[in-house]
Amino acid sequence: MAFHFDSSPNEQVMADLRGLSHLNKEQLVELSHLTLVFVAQLSKDFSTDVASFSSKYQMNMKPLKNLLRSYIVFFRGSISQQLTEVQLTNDLTEIGVTAENAAAVCEKWKEFSPALAQAAASRTLRVNELLDMEWRFGVTSANSDLEQVGSTFLQLKLVLDKGSHRENVFMELTLPQFYQFLSDIEKAKTVLDLFS
């Protein structure tokens, strides 16, 4: 069966997510809150929060951790697929959650959506963070192709933080390509400024 959050989800993830149907509304809303706080990177001490939830509802930690791991996969997939509330509700009801409980989860989803979008953007940007940039501007003075003589170009050296290492990326752009690149960077900056 195809879901909106993942077209072919892992069988173990699906088996764990079916455990959501055994929770009452209060438990499901609190578990959703706990999971969304973690996914949005707002949690100070996730382990303590999970232990507190486990003791409050007298749940075994091992199945709870499996359920949480799969619920995190569910919400991260929902973020990356940019699911609407209707799609989220459909996925939850297909998993076995009642319509009333699915609606309550969607309310939490709506409450956390700005923080989730910001966390997703920061996670993406942190992996490919630009550390340094060098550039050189030039004019072609000699070439076997006469049309190329006198054309301008820009050479860029970007140093990116790839998480575990730094990577140098070299680019050579014509002037029109550079202006398109600059336009794209300005658009990206505008979008990021919206989230911060």
pTM: 0.61
Taking the C-alpha atoms of residue 76 and residue 74, their distance in angstroms, rounded to an integer, is 6
- What pLDDT does residue 116 have? 84
Taking the C-alpha atoms of residue 142 and residue 132, their distance in angstroms, rounded to an integer, is 31
CB-based contacts of 82, cutoff 8 Å, min separation 6:
none
Instruction: Give the mean pLDDT per block of 10 residues along the chain (196 residues).
Output: 79 86 90 89 84 91 89 87 87 88 89 84 69 88 74 88 84 88 85 70
- What pLDDT does residue 55 have? 92
Taking the C-alpha atoms of residue 19 and residue 67, their distance in angstroms, rounded to an integer, is 7
Structure confidence by residue, pLDDT tens digits, 28-75: 999 999 999 888 888 788 888 889 999 999 999 888 898 999 888 988
- What pLDDT does residue 58 have? 92
| Number of other residues whose CB lies within 10 A of the CB of residue 78 | 22
Taking the C-alpha atoms of residue 71 and residue 171, their distance in angstroms, rounded to an integer, is 41
Q: Which of 9, 3, 15, 8 is nearest to 93 (CA)?
A: 3
